[in-house]
Copies of this chain bind each other. A is one copy, B any other.
Amino acid sequence: MQVKDIYVSAPGKAILHGEHAVVHGKVALAVSLNLRTYLRLKATNTGKVCVNLPNIDTFLWWDLSELKQLIRHSSGKRDEVQLLDAELVRRLREFLGVTNETLDHCNMASLSFLYIYLLLFGQRELPSLTVSVWSELPTGAGLGSSAAYSVCLAASLLCASGAIPAPLNEWDHTARWCQEDLELINSWAFQGEMIIHGNPSGVDNAVGTWGGMLRFLAGKIIPLSRVPLLRILLTNTKEPRSTKVLVARVKDKINKFPSIMNPVLDSVDAISCTCERVLSEMTCEPITGEHYNILEELIDINQHHLNVMGVGHPALDVLCRLTLARGLHSKLTGAGGGGCGITLLRPETDSSIVQSTIQDLRDHGFDCWETSIGGPGVQQHTPISVKEEILEILNHY
């Protein structure tokens, strides 16, 4: 069968407020991060399926004939897309020669691609195609890069299989899917995430799919109807850290000092709720400096609270200090202990200040990008709506 070419993209994710507190039953706010992952799906007649992931120097192909061997015609229709087809995963791991020891980025990307591809096309003729992916997101930095990949895979392969339509009209540059289609994309992306992460929260793929901001509380994910787009700097301190170790550290501290730490979690909860209220006000009344004053104060307070939880890091202190010296407010985002931080920019923040701040941060060995949070989730692109340098990479294969 012949499929249609498609360009899609999905955003990364940042935690605006509530990281760690969410583990202890408090609200967290997850926002889309407009460092995006772009995917081009191209029909071919090579009798092969190719996956190109130049970010991680990974270029894979399989003959359709060998992939056909992996298909078992199931007795009934799989209605419950939320449940992983464990038997298929087992067969794919065997086919790829993947063990728990060799489960690197490349193998996880192959597994999740082949899983979605085979389940969507397995009951009919397998199409010959090439998928090329380029991401602006650093990997393994807690910014939802694997979810953005899974969302792009789900959207493009669902389109290619005809399960959902391509939403782009001839007069659009970008377009988004309807709610129902987004739910299907999200549920397939979640399966990709399960293959990669084992037991994901579902937040990352939801943000990649819906964009904007999500309220996450006790495992329940609620997309917020309207949020403003906020300019930020995203800084990667490149300090390696283990989320598991950091989560355990916070838990230990709460157990050691419950009367001191539980109020801090309550305060973080109130920060998330206050932030949500202010952001919602910003979409329905004129945005003022006071809105930004409050957002900045919340960032500062939460950063102190995260330090109290023991998930700060000298590199994050440097980030906060350097940006504050230019009047900008920063906090860590995600697990902390190094990793990434976000710095709020105001609409009127001068580009010279932004550029010199970025330079300061790079001089300290950090990676730093000017981007935004609260932007759109997964979308289809015309080629000309893809940044030129990214289009060049995607079209190279």
List A residues 261-316 near B (Cβ within 8 Å): 261, 263-264, 266-267, 270-271, 273-274, 297-298, 300-301, 304-305, 307-308
Q: Beyond A301-B308, A304-B304, A304-B307, is A259–B263 a contact (Cβ under 8 Å)? A: no
Cα–Cα distance between A263 and B301 once the two chains are bound (Å): 12
Among B260, B263, B271, the residue within 8 A (CB) of A274 is B260
Instruction: Flag whether A171 is at the interface (Cβ < 8 A).
Output: no
Task: Kindly report which residue of chain B lies nearest to residue A271, judged by CB atoms.
Answer: B260
Q: Tell me if A's interface is mostly helix, strand, loop or mixed.
A: helix
Residues in B neighbouring A263, C-beta threshold 8 A: 263-264, 266-267, 270
**Whole-angstrom distance between the Cβ of A29 and the nearest chain B Cβ:** 14
Interface size on A, residues (CB 8 A): 22
Give the distance in Å from the alpha carbon of A266 to the alpha carbon of B261 in the complex: 10
Question: Closest residue to A253 on the B side, CB-wise?
Answer: B297
Query: How distant is A227 from chain B, measured CB to nearest CB, in Å?
Result: 20
Please, which residues of chain B bring their CB within 8 A of the CB of A297? Answer: 257
The interface bits of chain A over 25-61 (1 if a CB of B lies within 8 angstroms of the residue's CB, else 0) are 0000000000000000000000000000000000000
Which B residues are in CB contact (< 8 Å) with A270? 257, 259-260, 263
Q: Are B308 and A260 in contact (CB under 8 A)?
A: no
The residues of B that contact A257 with a CB separation of less than 8 Å are 270, 274, 297, 301
Q: Which residues of B contact A260 (CB under 8 A)?
A: 267, 270-271, 274, 298, 301
Bound CA span A10–B377, Å? 67
Question: B residues within 8 A CB of A274?
Answer: 257, 259-260
Beta-carbon nearest neighbor of A325 in chain B: B314
B259 and A273 contacting across the interface, CB-CB below 8 Å:
yes
Taking CB atoms and an 8 Å cut-off, the chain A residues in 129-182 that contact chain B are none
What residues of chain B lie closer than 8 Å to A317, measured between beta carbons? 321
Bound-state CA distance A270–B253 (Å) is 14
In the bound complex, CA of A301 to CA of B271 (Å): 18
Q: How far is the CA of A297 from the CA of B256 in the complex (A)?
A: 11
Query: What is the bound-complex CA distance between A283 and B321, given in angstroms?
Result: 40
Which residue of the partner chain B has the closest CB to A320? B317
CB distance from A267 to the nearest CB of B (A): 4
Interface centre among A271, A273, A300, A301, by most chain B C-beta atoms within 10 angstroms, is A301
CB nearest to A297 among chain B residues: B257
- For residue A26, give the distance in angstroms from its CB to the closest CB of chain B: 11
Alpha-carbon separation in the docked complex, A320 to B268 (Å)? 24
- How far apart are A271's CB and chain B's nearest CB, in angstroms? 6
Taking A259-B270, A304-B305 as known contacts, 20 extra A-B pairs with beta carbons closer than 8 A to each other, sorted by chain A number, are: A257-B270, A257-B274, A257-B297, A257-B301, A259-B267, A259-B273, A260-B267, A260-B270, A260-B271, A260-B274, A263-B264, A263-B266, A263-B267, A264-B264, A264-B267, A267-B267, A300-B307, A300-B308, A304-B304, A305-B308
A residues with a Cβ closer than 8 A to B are 257, 259-261, 263-264, 266-267, 270-271, 273-274, 297-298, 300-301, 304-305, 307-308, 317, 321
Can you spell out 25 A-B residue pairs with CB atoms less than 8 angstroms apart?
A257-B270, A257-B274, A257-B297, A259-B267, A259-B270, A259-B274, A260-B267, A260-B271, A260-B298, A260-B301, A263-B263, A263-B264, A263-B266, A263-B267, A263-B270, A264-B264, A264-B267, A267-B267, A300-B307, A300-B308, A304-B305, A304-B307, A304-B308, A305-B308, A317-B321
Cβ-closest 8 pairs across A and B? A263-B263, A259-B270, A263-B267, A263-B266, A304-B304, A260-B270, A304-B308, A301-B308
